[in-house]
Structure 1
Amino acid sequence: MAAILHPIRALEHVVSEYRDYLQTEFRAKDANLRAALEQELDAQGFLAQEPFYQAHRPFVDGSNWRDLPIEPALARVMEERTQQPCGYLHQTAAIDELLSDSARPVVVTTGTGSGKTESFLLPVIQNAFEDSAMFPKSGLTAILIYPMNALANDQKLRIEDYLTEAGFGNIKVEQYDRSTSQKTRQEMRANPPHILLTNYMMLEYLLVRPADRENIFANHRCRYLVLDEVHSYRGILGSNIALLTRRLKAHLERARQDWNPNPPATERLKRFPTLVPVGTSATIKSFAEDGLSREEVIRLRDEAVQEFFGTLTGAERESIVVMGEELKSVDVPSEAVYPSPANPVDIRGLDFADTASIEQALAELAGTPGASLEQAARSYKLLWDLNDWLIRRPMSISQIVEAVRESVAERAGGSVEELTREVEAALTVGAALPDGTPGALRLRAHRFLRGGWKFHRCVNPDCGRLYPMGEERCGDCGHQTAPLYLCRNCGADYLAFMGDPDNEPLRPRPETSDQPEWMIYEPDRFNLPVIVDDDDDDDDSGNVAPPRRGQQRVPAQIRGRQVRMGSFDPTSLQFSNDPTDYRMQVTLAPARTRCLCCGGTAGSRSVLTPVALGTSAAVKVIGEGLVETLAAANVGKEGHDGKERLLVFSDSRQDAAHQARFVIFASRYDRMRRRLVELLESRGVLRIQEAVEALSELAVNHHDNPYVPEDTGWLPDDTRDRIAVWEEAPLLDELAVNAGYRGTLFNLGLVGVRYNRLDEYVHARGENLAGTLAIHLGELEYLCRVVLDEMRTRGALSRPMLQYHPAHIACPQHFQRAEWERRMKLPQGYPLTPQREVVANMDAALLPSGIKHHNVWRRPGVGGRGPSVERIIRHLQDRLGGTTQLNPQIAEDVLSFLRDGSFVTAAELFGFRDRAHLLQVNSEVIRLELLSEQQRVHCEVCGDVRTGAPVHAPCPRCHGLMVTWDDAVVAQNRHVRRIRNREAIPLVAKEHTAQITTADRAEVEENFKAPSEVSPVNMLACSPTLEMGIDVGGLDAVVMRNVPPRPDNYAQRGGRAGRRSRVGIVLGYARSTPHDQYFYDKPREMIAGEVPAPAVSLGNRDVLIRHLYAIVLGSAEPGLAGRMIDYVGPQGEMKHEAVNALIEGVTAQVGHAVEVARQAWGADVLSRANLTDDDLRALLAALPDRIRFVFDATARQVIELRQALEHYTQTLERRHAGTRAADLVARILGIPTDQRTNQQDADDRSAGYPLRRFAEFGLLPGYEFPSEPAALRLLG
Structure 2
Amino acid sequence: MTLRVQVWFRELKRMVASVESQPELAFSDDLTPELRQNQKTLPVMHCRDCGATGWGGVRHSTINNKLIPNDLRGFYQAFFSQKPLVSFLFPCDESHEETQLLCRHCLTVNPTSVEFCKGCHKENNADNLIPVLVPEVTQTVTRNGQEQLISNHDCPFCGNSNGLSILGAQAASLTSASIGILYTTPFNQDKKLLTFSDSVQDAAHRAGFYNARTYRSTLRTSIFQLVRESQHPLTLQELCDRFADYWREKIPIPENYIATFLPTDLQWLREWDDFLNGDRSKLDPHTALPDLLELVEKRLVWEIVTQFGHRGAIGPSLERSGVASVSFNPQFLTAATKTLHQKLSNEIEALRTVSEDRVRELIVGLLHHLRHRGGIVQPVTQGNYISSGGETYLLSKLVYMPGVGPSVPAPKFLVNAAAKTKQFERVISGKNRDSWCEDWTMRVFAPHTLLLKEQLIDILHFTLETLVGAKLLESHFCGQGRAWGIPMAAIIINPGGKVLTCDRCYHQITHSRTSSHLPDTCRSLGCQGHYHEDDQRPGLVYYRQMYQQGEVRRIVAAEHTGLLSRTTRERLEHRFIQSDRYCDPNLISATSTLEMGINIGDLSSVFLCSLPPTLPTTSSELVARDDETVMR
Would you say how many aligned residue pairs link Structure 1 and Structure 2? 555
Q: Is the CA contact 1:938–1:945 (under 8 Å) kept in the aligned structure 2? A: yes
Who is 2:463 aligned against? 894
Provide the rounded CA distance (Å) in 2 between the counterparts of 1:693 and 1:1028. 50
Who is 2:70 aligned against? 508
CA gap 1:658/1:869 in 2 versus in 1, 3 angstroms = farther
Who is 2:378 aligned against? 799
Provide the rounded CA distance (Å) in 2 between the counterparts of 1:529 and 1:813. 46
Provide the rounded CA distance (Å) in 2 between the counterparts of 1:761 and 1:840. 28
CA gap 1:710/1:1042 in 2 versus in 1, 3 angstroms = same
Residues 1:954 and 2:521 are matched in the alignment: yes
Provide the rounded CA distance (Å) in 1 between the counterparts of 2:69 and 2:397. 56
CA gap 1:1051/1:917 in 2 versus in 1, 3 angstroms = same
Provide the rounded CA distance (Å) in 1 between the counterparts of 2:24 and 2:33. 7
SS of 1:801's equivalent?
coil
Provide the rounded CA distance (Å) in 2 between the counterparts of 1:929 and 1:894. 25
Provide the rounded CA distance (Å) in 2 between the counterparts of 1:519 and 1:587. 13
CA shift for structure 1 position 939: 2.2
CA shift for structure 1 position 797: 1.4
For residue 945 of structure 1, the aligned residue among 494, 505, 509 is 509
Provide the rounded CA distance (Å) in 2 between the counterparts of 1:818 and 1:1037. 35
SS of 1:959's equivalent?
coil
For residue 928 of structure 1, the aligned residue among 493, 497, 517 is 493
Query: Highest Rg: 1 or 2?
Result: 1
CA shift for structure 1 position 1012: 6.8
Who is 2:306 aligned against? 733
SS of 1:662's equivalent?
helix
CA shift for structure 1 position 931: 3.4
Who is 1:583 aligned against? 127
CA shift for structure 1 position 1009: 1.1
Provide the rounded CA distance (Å) in 1 between the counterparts of 2:318 and 2:218. 12
Q: Is the CA contact 1:940–1:962 (under 8 Å) kept in the aligned structure 2? A: yes
CA shift for structure 1 position 1062: 4.7
Residues 1:854 and 2:408 are matched in the alignment: no
CA shift for structure 1 position 6: 0.8
Provide the rounded CA distance (Å) in 2 between the counterparts of 1:801 and 1:520. 38
For residue 14 of structure 2, the aligned residue among 422, 431, 454 is 454
CA shift for structure 1 position 799: 0.8
CA shift for structure 1 position 450: 1.5
CA gap 1:736/1:900 in 2 versus in 1, 3 angstroms = same
Residues 1:844 and 2:407 are matched in the alignment: no
CA shift for structure 1 position 767: 3.2
CA gap 1:840/1:590 in 2 versus in 1, 3 angstroms = closer
CA shift for structure 1 position 794: 2.5
More helix by share: 1
Provide the rounded CA distance (Å) in 2 between the counterparts of 1:964 and 1:1043. 43
Provide the rounded CA distance (Å) in 2 between the counterparts of 1:841 and 1:994. 59
CA gap 1:483/1:794 in 2 versus in 1, 3 angstroms = same
CA shift for structure 1 position 651: 3.6
CA shift for structure 1 position 685: 0.7
Q: Is the CA contact 1:1028–1:1052 (under 8 Å) kept in the aligned structure 2? A: no
CA shift for structure 1 position 745: 1.5
Who is 2:191 aligned against? 644
For residues 652-667 of structure 1, the aligned pairs below 5 Å read 652-667=199-214
Provide the rounded CA distance (Å) in 2 between the counterparts of 1:890 and 1:796. 20
CA shift for structure 1 position 1008: 1.5
Q: Is the CA contact 1:904–1:922 (under 8 Å) kept in the aligned structure 2? A: yes
Provide the rounded CA distance (Å) in 2 between the counterparts of 1:770 and 1:1026. 71
Residues 1:777 and 2:333 are matched in the alignment: no
CA gap 1:1057/1:681 in 2 versus in 1, 3 angstroms = same
Q: Is the CA contact 1:458–1:479 (under 8 Å) kept in the aligned structure 2? A: no
SS of 1:927's equivalent?
strand
For residues 680-719 of structure 1, the aligned pairs below 5 Å read 680-683=227-230, 684-700=232-248, 701-702=250-251, 703-706=256-259
Who is 2:559 aligned against? 991
For residues 24-423 of structure 1, the aligned pairs below 5 Å read 48=8
Q: Which amino acid aligns with 1:817?
A: Y
SS of 1:929's equivalent?
strand
Who is 1:758 aligned against? 332
CA gap 1:735/1:1020 in 2 versus in 1, 3 angstroms = same
Q: Which amino acid aligns with 1:1022?
A: A
CA shift for structure 1 position 505: 10
Provide the rounded CA distance (Å) in 1 between the counterparts of 2:209 and 2:576. 18
Who is 1:1033 aligned against? 601
- Cα deviation, 1:554-613, whole Å, max 9, x if unaligned, reads 799xxxx975446899xxx96437515x8323246667959xxx9625556474x55312
Q: Under a length normalisation based on structure 2, what TM-score does the superposition of the two structures give?
A: 0.72
Q: Is the CA contact 1:499–1:507 (under 8 Å) kept in the aligned structure 2? A: no
For residue 872 of structure 1, the aligned residue among 416, 434, 440 is 440
SS of 2:446's equivalent?
helix
CA shift for structure 1 position 899: 1.0
Who is 1:975 aligned against? 543
CA shift for structure 1 position 1042: 0.7
Residues 1:1021 and 2:603 are matched in the alignment: no
Provide the rounded CA distance (Å) in 2 between the counterparts of 1:461 and 1:1049. 46
Who is 2:150 aligned against? none
CA gap 1:718/1:1018 in 2 versus in 1, 3 angstroms = closer
Who is 1:816 aligned against? 399
CA gap 1:518/1:600 in 2 versus in 1, 3 angstroms = same
Who is 1:6 aligned against? 3
Q: Is the CA contact 1:649–1:1023 (under 8 Å) kept in the aligned structure 2? A: yes
Q: Which amino acid aligns with 1:623?
A: I
CA shift for structure 1 position 782: 1.6
Provide the rounded CA distance (Å) in 2 between the counterparts of 1:661 and 1:803. 32
Q: Which amino acid aligns with 1:620?
A: S
Provide the rounded CA distance (Å) in 1 between the counterparts of 2:245 and 2:447. 46
For residue 746 of structure 1, the aligned residue among 310, 316, 319 is 319
CA gap 1:522/1:672 in 2 versus in 1, 3 angstroms = closer
Who is 2:573 aligned against? 1005
- Cα deviation, 1:792-828, whole Å, max 9, x if unaligned, reads 32232111023367999x9899952355767659775
Segments of structure 2 that go 5 or more residues without pairing to the other structure are 79-84, 103-107, 139-154, 263-280
Who is 2:267 aligned against? none
CA gap 1:906/1:766 in 2 versus in 1, 3 angstroms = closer
Who is 1:1174 aligned against? none
- Cα deviation, 1:515-561, whole Å, max 9, x if unaligned, reads 756767665xxxx324444xxxxxxxxxxxxxxxxxxx6799xxxx9
Q: Which amino acid aligns with 1:450?
A: R
Q: Is the CA contact 2:336–2:467 (under 8 Å) kept in the aligned structure 1? A: no
Q: Which amino acid aligns with 2:464?
A: L
Provide the rounded CA distance (Å) in 2 between the counterparts of 1:692 and 1:468. 44
Q: Under a length normalisation based on structure 1, what TM-score does the superposition of the two structures give?
A: 0.38
CA shift for structure 1 position 941: 2.3
Who is 1:151 aligned against? none
Segments of structure 1 that go 5 or more residues without pairing to the other structure are 16-47, 49-448, 534-552, 635-641, 832-838, 846-851, 1064-1276
- Cα deviation, 1:60-102, whole Å, max 9, x if unaligned, reads xxxxxxxxxxxxxxxxxxxxxxxxxxxxxxxxxxxxxxxxxxx
Who is 2:146 aligned against? none
CA shift for structure 1 position 691: 1.4
Q: Which amino acid aligns with 2:489?
A: E
Q: Which amino acid aligns with 2:503?
A: E
Provide the rounded CA distance (Å) in 2 between the counterparts of 1:908 and 1:668. 35
Q: Which amino acid aligns with 1:655?
A: D
SS of 2:445's equivalent?
helix
Taking only the aligned residue pairs, the percentage that are identical comes to 14
CA gap 1:932/1:880 in 2 versus in 1, 3 angstroms = farther
Q: Is the CA contact 2:429–2:435 (under 8 Å) kept in the aligned structure 1? A: yes
Q: Is the CA contact 2:21–2:130 (under 8 Å) kept in the aligned structure 1? A: no
Provide the rounded CA distance (Å) in 1 between the counterparts of 2:317 and 2:136. 25
- Cα deviation, 1:922-956, whole Å, max 9, x if unaligned, reads 111111112344xx434222324164684462113
Provide the rounded CA distance (Å) in 1 between the counterparts of 2:197 and 2:480. 47
Q: Is the CA contact 1:735–1:793 (under 8 Å) kept in the aligned structure 2? A: yes
